Amino acid sequence: MAGHPQNIIFLTCDAFGVLPPVSKLTPGQAMYHFISGYTAKVAGTERGITEPTPNFSACFGAAFLTLHPTRYAELLEKKMYEHGAHAWLVNTGWSGGSYGVGERMSIKTTRACIDAILDGNAAMVNYVKDDAFGLDIPVSLPGVQTQLLNPRNAWADKEAYDVTAKKLAGMFCKNFEQYKGHGVVDLTQYGPRM
């Protein structure tokens, strides 16, 4: 039997172009993003979708949960501490602007992020803190263009980025209202800074 994973990777497709291609999550942030289960439905992958639609599905599989999502998040945190695992949020969505303006993250970029996580390079680089979501973003990563790592830097219109980041952060906060008062700790402290 295999051992416990050293890295837990949450994949998301952010069609708003706000989330970085990769960010390192604290255990609290891992719980928050696991419960949020954020991705976007995009045209071509979902029937009836003509423009990106945010989708929050608790634990990335709400339809299959038998317990409250906070129970699964608490178990995730326990196992992360118990086995020294790291959690990562990898965005396969857009960069440089929202859907229709920016470009889809290349497979090459996504693979470089995953490779850096698995070979340990991502854990050894310097990070900066994202203003909107409080995420730790690598300053550099082998095989990833530096301007892509911090999503705000990839946008030509920084003001439009700020407005879009605030909009997406608001969606996260609104979605998370349903989880307030559940669990042993208030996880909203690990979400966006509004």
Given a cut of 80, whether residue 162 has pLDDT beyond it is yes
| Per-residue model confidence as pLDDT tens digits over 6-27 | 999 999 999 999 999 999 999 9
What type of residue sits at position 31? M
Long-range interactions of 99-108: CB distance < 8 A, separation 24+: 99/15, 99/16, 99/17, 99/40, 99/42, 99/51, 99/52, 100/51, 101/17, 102/17, 102/154, 102/155, 105/21, 105/148, 108/143
**Structural contact between residues 136 and 24, judged by C-beta atoms closer than 8 angstroms:** yes
| 148 pLDDT tier (thresholds 50, 70, 90) | very high
| Per-residue model confidence as pLDDT tens digits over 36-49 | 999 998 777 777 77
C-alpha Rg value of the chain to the nearest Å: 16
pTM for the predicted model, two decimal places: 0.93
State which H helix or E strand residue 7 sits in. Answer: strand 7-12
